[in-house]
A and B are shown apart, each in its own frame.
Chain A
Amino acid sequence: MTRHPSTVLVWFGVLGGAVAWAAQFVAGLAFTFAQCNAPPGRWDLPVQRWQSGLAIAGIVVGLASIAVCVRLYRQTRDVDHAAETERLGKGTPPPVGRINFLATTGLLVNVLALSIMIMTAIGAPFLRLCQQA
């Protein structure tokens, strides 16, 4: 493989979904705490709409980074990792093996982050608003 993807792109591929999950998790949680742990009527937030919205936004990001990972993975699928050590020295481009490694792992991260976000997005609307568990 000749052209080398930018570090930023690679790490977006690896972490995009995870970061998206973390964001929708924290924000959505804050909404439920604000609405459901407060004395009645202190705030009136459309919690479930926000939950779904956040989750969907996260899902979009997750899909994007999956796309990146797939592309990187295809680019780097067949390389002999050991062979390239020889040209490992200061300033040489990142070894393809590492990009391939990160892309593979990125796929898993994103799939799992996605499935959590999808479960929340599907689950939340079915539940009664602020029903005590």
Chain B
Amino acid sequence: MALGLGGCGKQSILSTRSKPAHDIALLWWWMLAAATVVFLGAVAMLAVAWFRRERPGLPFVGEREDLAQGMVLVFGIVVPLVALIGLFGVSDVYLVGQTAPPNPRTTRMTIDVIGHQWWWEVRYDGGRAITANEIHIPANTRVNVVATSADVIHSFWVPALNRKIDMVPGMRNRVLLYASTPGVYRGQCSQFCGLQHANMSLKVFAQRPDRFRAWLAGQERPGATPQGAQAAAGQRLFMNAQCASCHTIAGTPARGTVGPNLTHVASRTSLASDEIPNTPKWLAAWIRNPQKIKPGDRMPDLGLSEPQIAQLVAYLEQLR
């Protein structure tokens, strides 16, 4: 079981890449060990009861009431009291300070993550770069995440990197994001937030600092101007169809804020908050019929013709 827990699973709380997450996993293993001992002990007593069902009392103890009562006092009060106060000190006084949000001076950068039904808006240094559902961070760097919500309560959770933190309207909760090794870490909304709660996941890309800087620089540029007639038509369509009223593409008239910012949508690996891969085929399918892929999603069926969809895809694919 231990192997199963530690190894498999993209979202296991036990395959950890940061100190807080690691400490929590360690706490878990210790608690599991202690719990196993208690459980087996209690079950053993019940087994004894089965084997001695014909005979009253216990070996050595006999039927002395005071010893039976002493057993209750020791196992029911003394032992638990000691164990629980110990657990209280370790977890709720010491460790809780380690998983608490970082002291502002100790972090290199701040990212605002805003929960929407049902996607994540990610803003770098105050909105100079805005993306969605895919958070890039430099590895081995303490990042301060400010978690807020645009509508209902969501919960930001990347198990491999840290505990979860709720996104509550009117509150600015914070959490440390730190990855000891480069890699892709999956996260998911863990507070029920409506119809598509199940499909509100995200990816954290921990990159070598130079790679990250390059990526950020790219994200800060305005959206690419379309190359070729097909893509140009796609841009016109984007601006005239409903698209622009919900989505933003920096450097164009599209200024909508209901849906994700698409300035560099083609640079992402997935669509619909990590539900489908970001390939032309899937992008077309998504534009054709989003309600089929994500029932109840805010993105409506636009009733576009196949040629129009092809044009939009051509345009969006150039937004790298």
Contact = CB atoms under 8 A, between A and B. Distances in A.
Interface in B167-211: 173-174
Contacts of B92: 123
Contacts of A115: 81, 85
A131 B101 CA distance: 8
Contacts of B85: 115, 119
B302 interface: no
B174 A132 contact: yes
Given A111-B77, A115-B81, A119-B88, A128 B97 contact: yes
Interface in A108-131: 108, 111, 115, 119, 122-123, 126-128, 131
**Could you tell me the dominant secondary structure of chain B's interface residues?**
helix
A131 B97 contact: yes
B100 A132 contact: yes
Interface residues of B, number: 14
Given A111-B77, A115-B81, A132-B174, A127 B101 contact: no
Contacts of A8: none
B304 to A, nearest CB: 46
A119 B100 CA distance: 20
Interface string B86-109: 001100111011001100000000
A115 B97 CA distance: 22
B93 A131 contact: no
A133 B100 contact: yes
Interface residues of A, number: 12
Contacts of A122: 93
B101 A132 contact: yes
B93 A127 contact: yes
Nearest to B100: A131
Nearest to B96: A133
Interface of B: 77, 81, 85, 88-89, 92-94, 96-97, 100-101, 173-174
The 10 A-B pairs of least Cβ separation, nearest first, read A123-B93, A131-B100, A126-B93, A132-B101, A119-B88, A133-B100, A133-B96, A132-B173, A115-B81, A132-B100
14 contacts: A115-B81, A119-B85, A122-B93, A123-B89, A123-B93, A126-B93, A126-B94, A127-B93, A127-B96, A131-B100, A132-B100, A132-B101, A132-B173, A133-B100
Interface of A: 108, 111, 115, 119, 122-123, 126-128, 131-133
Given A115-B81, A122-B93, A123-B92, 13 more contacts: A108-B77, A123-B88, A123-B89, A123-B93, A126-B93, A126-B94, A127-B97, A128-B97, A128-B100, A131-B100, A132-B100, A133-B96, A133-B100
